[in-house]
Structure 1
Amino acid sequence: MIKIGKISYTNIYPIYYFFDELKFADQVTFIPQIPSELNQRMKRGDIDLGPISSFAYAENAASYMLLPDLSISCKGKVRSIYLFSKLPIEKLEGRSVALTSSSATSVALLKILLQHFYQCRVSYETMQPSIDEMLKEHDAALLIGDDALHAKWQNTNISYIYDLGELWYHFTQKHMTFAVWAVRREVVKERAMLLEEISAEFQRSKQKGLQNLGMITGELSRSFGGSLSFWETYYQGLSYDLSGEQQESLEYFYRLAFELGLLKEATQVEVWVPEKKSIPQ
């Protein structure tokens, strides 16, 4: 049985919505969790493959490879990763920032933005993702995913809200890849044929999801909230690929993280290449 992680956020819908789980009955089980929990379970070997924070991949690259053409990336606004601040971001020097406990990549990205690009030294505290509690004693708060969406919709009185994808693009003109699909190296060795079938099904599901965004956005608007136009804009701003340009941008992110002491080395991206090239129809 191969255990596959599944991020418990709406940003993942186009990848998983049309995934044919019945095709892999008795071969695959899905484990939905927030990114930080998936990161830890992958590290322990409790999960064999699935989406994890791109930063968590860099921390454990010796144990993982990446599935091809799968990520959660943006080139500009990501619209679900926000820094909520009482002050302009450039005036956070010496202030305190609350960090969500749900993420690794976004936390590292914020530290890079503040220290490398804004030259701001701040203190951090990791907290459960509650915008009200985070801002009680801190000057700014980082939230991601559905927590960030709800906070932005419900807290129109917060003075400054910064989209981290937009800030990264402003300074670098590069993609930002927040999550990647990693697979443990022992699975590559021991379950290669099944892994190829799973990888191909992810590609088929992704293509169908992107071709049928209207179905997904309609369901989300009814069940989660937000307008159809919001969800359409949201998904149009995301990329689920992992092109050469995205890989290069990710390695640049890793170099900056290494220079700031957030990573032990400037990790190089290693993508697994399946033998089969076709995608099932």
Structure 2
Amino acid sequence: MSLVVGHIKYINCAPFFHYLPECGFDGTIVDGVPSHLNRLLAEGGVDLSPSSSFEYARNWREYLLFPELSISACGPVRSVLLFSGRPIETLDGDHIALTGDSATSVNLLKIILKEFYDLRDVRCAVPAGPVEAVMAEGGSALLIGDRALKSAQEKAAPYIYDLAELWLQHTGLPFVFALWILRRQAAREKADAVRTLHGQLKCSRERAFASLENLAKATPEREWMGEGGLVDYWNCMSYELGEAHLEGLRLYFHLCARHHLLDEEPELHFWGG
């Protein structure tokens, strides 16, 4: 039985997906932003996906995690950014416009504001219009993915804060934005295909990092980021899931529960092959 795999159409996913067909994958790929794929994963529309860490925490009893694989940052991530007309420590009482694309980044922002800056009166909401319009009028806004990268290039606000960098400054730990999340039902019913895919994902990642320059040449976003910019971006990401990543992930879940963003701290359950 073939697998249905979610694909976040952001540049940071390219190392996992670009060489996947050459590594033998012949299943179905479904594109979408993180929030859309989170919904498909929860409803069974995809078997597995690199999805928001927060989605795992919400429905962890239905999921397993692929070991060794993540989309993380051990410093600045460059694509999860708070744009503001004022310094972050002065934002109490302000409104922040949110992207509706990612629950993980939205809740990371809320934790940073409350836990690290003790800001208790910041209202965060998805605006009726584009987030970029709020920024153009001098308001504060959160952007993620390629939109964040483009707005940073354009210096769209006087103050730009990288959320992964703030997390590292205050915790000393990597931040795990996305996990490879597998539905337990797929693990049971498509065990052979799941086992094969785990190896294919590692194959694609290894081929990508063997020559990020070649990957950049084949990536359409080179037209606005440049090949060197793409290589620098991928090098600032982490596609592993080691002990430090897991420590950072557990701390994130703990703080989400402390600030009532989660009802409970999830257990981490891994697919065992």
If the TM-score is normalised by the length of the shorter chain, which range does it land in? over 0.9
Alignment of 1:6-45 (within 5 A): 6-20=7-21, 23-25=24-26, 28-45=27-44
Give the Cα–Cα distance (whole angstroms) in 2 for the partners of residues 127 and 269 of structure 1. 34
Percent same amino acid at aligned positions?
Answer: 35
- Matched-pair contact (CA < 8 Å) for 1:108–1:262: yes
- Matched-pair contact (CA < 8 Å) for 2:24–2:200: no
Alignment of 1:1-281 (within 5 A): 1-20=2-21, 23-25=24-26, 28-120=27-119, 121-127=121-127, 130-135=130-135, 139-154=139-154, 156=155, 158-220=157-219, 223-274=222-273
Residue 105 to residue 129, structure 1, CA distance change in 2 (3 Å): farther
Gaps of 5+ in 2: none
Residue 260 to residue 148, structure 1, CA distance change in 2 (3 Å): same
Residue 128 to residue 184, structure 1, CA distance change in 2 (3 Å): farther
Q: TM-score, normalised by structure 2?
A: 0.94
* SS class of match (1:6): strand
Q: C-alpha deviations, 1:60-113, integer Å up to 9, x for none?
A: 100000111111001110011100001100000010000101111100100000
Give the Cα–Cα distance (whole angstroms) in 2 for the partners of residues 222 and 80 of structure 1. 14
Q: C-alpha deviations, 1:39-59, integer Å up to 9, x for none?
A: 011011111101100111111
* SS class of match (2:115): helix
- Matched-pair contact (CA < 8 Å) for 1:86–1:139: yes
Residue 24 to residue 13, structure 1, CA distance change in 2 (3 Å): closer
Q: TM-score, normalised by structure 1?
A: 0.91
Give the Cα–Cα distance (whole angstroms) in 1 for the partners of residues 221 and 187 of structure 2. 40
Give the Cα–Cα distance (whole angstroms) in 2 for the partners of residues 76 and 236 of structure 1. 11
How far is 1:138 from its partner?
A: 7.2
Residue 128 to residue 224, structure 1, CA distance change in 2 (3 Å): farther
* SS class of match (2:224): coil
Residue 192 to residue 129, structure 1, CA distance change in 2 (3 Å): farther
How far is 1:228 from its partner?
A: 3.0
Q: Aligned letter for 2:11?
A: T
Give the Cα–Cα distance (whole angstroms) in 2 for the partners of residues 22 and 241 of structure 1. 19
- Matched-pair contact (CA < 8 Å) for 1:112–1:257: yes
Q: Aligned letter for 1:167?
A: L
Give the Cα–Cα distance (whole angstroms) in 1 for the partners of residues 127 and 192 of structure 2. 41
- The Cα RMSD (Å) is 1.8
Residue 222 to residue 98, structure 1, CA distance change in 2 (3 Å): closer
- Matched-pair contact (CA < 8 Å) for 1:101–1:128: no
* SS class of match (1:100): coil
Give the Cα–Cα distance (whole angstroms) in 1 for the partners of residues 142 and 128 of structure 2. 11
- Matched-pair contact (CA < 8 Å) for 1:221–1:227: no
Give the Cα–Cα distance (whole angstroms) in 1 for the partners of residues 6 and 219 of structure 2. 21
Q: C-alpha deviations, 1:192-242, integer Å up to 9, x for none?
A: 111100111111111111112111223347644123332222111111011
How far is 1:135 from its partner?
A: 2.7
Q: C-alpha deviations, 1:159-217, integer Å up to 9, x for none?
A: 10000010000100001000011000011112111110011111111111111211122
